[in-house]
Amino acid sequence: MSRRPTVLFVCVHNAGRSQMAAGWLRHLAGDAVEVRSAGSEPAERINPVAVEAMREVGIDITANVPRKLDWETAESSDVLITMGCGDACPVFPGKRYLDWQLDDPAGQGIEAVRAIRDEIRVRVERLIADLPVTPA
């Protein structure tokens, strides 16, 4: 991995799980990690309940926009973390892959999304501990 690893979070809509994970990683690791997120079938906007759940912990993801997963972004990432993107997730030799089985926050209330948010934080903290970075 390069001195500043690149992590790509991928889910179907890039509107909930992957956006919350990217928000946590940016918040906890700062500039030590390049953070990306994308979706195999991106939504038009981020899930407002995910935005609210992240706001509750002081992380603003309102400026984020769901993005389409593209070959170049995936290929140039060091770590690819999938969250239910199915067969649309490309596989490249020499990359590190993690598959995080997490409930989809789409259509769920704030209580359920808080639990997903908190689980994502735990996983992001483990990821940071396993990357060659110094958190901000």
Active centre residues (catalytic) = 11, 85, 89
What the block records as the tokens of 59 is 């992380």
Strand partners, 36: 8
Alpha carbons within 13 A on the beta-carbon side of 62: 5
| 25 vs 81: CA distance, rounded Å | 12
Residue 108 corresponds to which amino acid?
Answer: Q
What single string gives the DSSP state of each residue in 49-71? HHHHHHHHTT---TT----B--H
What the block records as the tokens of 77 is 């990432």
| 136 vs 123: CA distance, rounded Å | 17
